Structure 1
Amino acid sequence: MSLAIASKSLVSQTLPRNATQRLATQLFLAIGATVILALSAKTRVVLGPVDLSLQTLAVLVIGATFGMRLGVATLLLYMAEGAMGLPVFQGTPEKGIGFAYMMGPTGGYLLGFVAMAAMAGWAADRGWDRSPLKLGGAMLFAEMVMMALGFAWLAGLIGADKAWQFGVAPFILPDLIKVALAACFMPAAWALLRGLGVSGR
């Protein structure tokens, strides 16, 4: 996997050519995306003992829109905000803040979010975000990696059976729906961009 490949992500097509302006725009986008991530984490649908958030959808879309490098940088910035004690995660501040929260039951999923953004961004850098099937396949794999990391971390805390029961099984169908939505959103966004006269470099 080459990290030197020129990004073909949606954002890369719209960034200024000037290096200083380009960096400033990327910083602005990253900060704005962390706000979206925080809001998506707080948007919850309660189903029994499980809180379902829109955060996985936001992570997938940000990764695919930004590309691998900016997507990962954005997720790392988000993690840094949480580590500093800002209430940006789903269970903060009610269930703790900072590293104490990050090392708790959701720690594996938070790590998985970074991996998820990297994989969605990797796919977008190669132009896969023009095809819902290609992008959907990459996002499905990213979802599986995120779930595996979350499960492994949670299993170490509460055991494999409970980790599967409470940390994986209830999320399978909702997250598959989010993957499908994200995979369909990106080609639609490209179509809109082409309608505005941006065809891609």
Structure 2
Amino acid sequence: MIPARSPALASRLSTRAALALAGSALLALSARVTVPLWPVEVSLQTFAVLLIASAFGMRLGLATMALYLAEGALGLPVFQGTPEKGLGLAYMAGPTGGYLAGFVVATAIVGWAADRGWGRNPLRIGAAMLAGELALLALGAAWLAVLFGPAQAFAYGVGPFILGDIQKLALAALLAPVALRLLASMHLR
């Protein structure tokens, strides 16, 4: 005989599923929102990745990233520049593939720190976000180096994004305690 699930467990699972869906929708929306910075236009995706990881923690953050990547793999237009740049697995294997893998690693790093209470302090979570951002850029550049060579990887895949990514990281670190308080007030974290 299979034991019946408790209503509390069912409620918790449905809440987490709703948060993961909301997080993947936020990621898709952030791919469409761009900010014109010099020398390139940047999306708000890394901001969303860092904020989701700090608010959701590692497990729910990784589940959210997995859902987002699954949506993209299935061909839904959730990635930056799609459908103009293609959909599905072909897009994921292209130049942005390393950054997409970096989203997962950054989420793990920042989510791990958030699970240990670092999200309540902007400086501590900011340090974790910096580590996550460095891992994200390293994976993105490594994949670009495979595709186009190391010089082009840094010149086009890292350098132009440093200023914008620092600004997004700082904003995400400042908003992390606010996001945690909001989720706690709704009894979601």
TM-score (norm 2): 0.90
Alignment match, 2:58: 68
Alignment match, 1:165: 155
**2:86 equivalent to 1:86:** no
User: For 1:34 and 1:157, how far apart are their aligned partners in 2?
Assistant: 28
1:44 offset after TM fit, Å?
Answer: 1.4
Q: CA RMSD in A?
A: 2.1
Name the SS for the 1:60 alignment partner.
helix
Alignment match, 1:23: 13
Alignment match, 2:4: none
Name the SS for the 2:41 alignment partner.
strand
Alignment match, 1:104: 94
Question: Structure 2 vs 1, CA of residues 107 and 179 (structure 1 numbering), >3 Å: closer, same or farther?
Answer: same
Query: Which of 124, 139, 143 in structure 2 is aligned with 1:153?
Result: 143
What does 1:4-83 align with in structure 2 at a 5 Å threshold? 18-47=8-37, 50-83=40-73
**2:131 equivalent to 1:141:** yes
CA contact (8 A) 1:34 1:74 kept: yes
User: For 2:187 and 2:45, how far apart are their aligned partners in 1?
Assistant: 29
Runs of at least 5 residues in structure 1 that lack an aligned partner in the other structure: 1-16
Which structure is higher in helix share?
2
User: For 1:137 and 1:94, how far apart are their aligned partners in 2?
Assistant: 36
1:200 offset after TM fit, Å?
Answer: 11
User: For 1:76 and 1:39, how far apart are their aligned partners in 2?
Assistant: 16
CA contact (8 A) 1:132 1:183 kept: yes
Runs of at least 5 residues in structure 2 that lack an aligned partner in the other structure: 1-6
CA contact (8 A) 1:50 1:166 kept: no
Query: Which of 173, 183, 193 in structure 1 is aligned with 2:173?
Result: 183
Question: Structure 2 vs 1, CA of residues 167 and 68 (structure 1 numbering), >3 Å: closer, same or farther?
Answer: same
CA deviations 1:129-174 (Å, max 9, x no partner) are: 1111111111000000000000000011111111111110011111
User: For 1:169 and 1:123, how far apart are their aligned partners in 2?
Assistant: 27
CA contact (8 A) 2:105 2:132 kept: yes
1:18 offset after TM fit, Å?
Answer: 1.0
User: For 2:142 and 2:167, how far apart are their aligned partners in 1?
Assistant: 23
User: For 2:29 and 2:188, how far apart are their aligned partners in 1?
Assistant: 30
CA contact (8 A) 2:23 2:64 kept: yes
Query: What is the one-letter code of the residue matched to 2:117?
Result: G
CA deviations 1:19-58 (Å, max 9, x no partner) are: 1000001001101111110010011134577330000000
Aligned residue pairs total: 183
CA contact (8 A) 2:15 2:188 kept: no
Alignment match, 1:11: none
Name the SS for the 1:75 alignment partner.
helix
Query: What is the one-letter code of the residue matched to 2:93?
Result: M
